[in-house]
Structure 1
Amino acid sequence: MSTEVANESGYEVDGEEFAALARYVLEEMRVHPQAELSIMFVTTDVMSELHERWMDEPGPTDVLSFPMDELRPGRAGEEPVEGTLGDIVLCPEVAAEQARAAGHSTVEELLLLTTHGILHLLGYDHAEPEEEKEMFDLQRRLLLTFLAGR
Structure 2
Amino acid sequence: MSTESGVPVVADDVRSLDAKESVPVDLERWSLLASRSAESEGGVGELTLTFVDEAEIAELNAEHMGKTGPTDVLSFPMDDDWVPGVPTLLGDIVICPEVAATQFTDHAGTFDDEIGLLVVHGVLHVLGHDHADPAEATLMRGRELALLRAHHWHGHEPAGFRQTHD
For the criterion TM > 0.5, the same-fold answer is: yes
> One-letter code of the match for 2:89?
T
Question: Which structure's residues are more often strand, by fraction?
Answer: 2
Structure with larger RCO (C-alpha < 8 A, sep 6+): 1
After TM superposition, give the deviation of residue 103 of structure 1 in Å. Answer: 6.3
Question: For residue 5 of structure 1, what is the aligned residue in structure 2?
Answer: 16
Query: 5+ unaligned residues in a row in structure 2: which ranges?
Result: 1-10, 156-166
CA distance in structure 1 between the aligned counterparts of 2:140 and 2:50, rounded to whole angstroms: 22
CA distance in structure 1 between the aligned counterparts of 2:114 and 2:130, rounded to whole angstroms: 19
Pairing 1:130-145 to 2, within 5 Å after superposition: 130-145=135-150
CA distance in structure 1 between the aligned counterparts of 2:140 and 2:118, rounded to whole angstroms: 12
> One-letter code of the match for 2:35?
R
Residues matched between the structures, number: 143
Name segments (4+ residues, structure 1) moved above 3 Å.
Answer: none
1:19 aligns with 2:31: yes
Question: For residue 90 of structure 1, what is the aligned residue in structure 2?
Answer: 95
Query: CA 1:9 to 1:134, structure 2 compared with 1: closer, same or farther past 3 Å?
Result: farther
> One-letter code of the match for 2:110?
S
Other structure's SS at 2:48 match? strand
> One-letter code of the match for 1:48?
A
CA distance in structure 2 between the aligned counterparts of 1:43 and 1:13, rounded to whole angstroms: 12
Query: 5+ unaligned residues in a row in structure 1: which ranges?
Result: 75-79
TM-score, reference length from structure 1: 0.88
Question: For residue 36 of structure 1, what is the aligned residue in structure 2?
Answer: 46
Question: For residue 63 of structure 1, what is the aligned residue in structure 2?
Answer: 73
- Which residue of the other structure, out of 59, 74, 96, is the alignment partner of 1:49? 59
TM-score, reference length from structure 2: 0.80
RMSD, matched Cα: 1.7
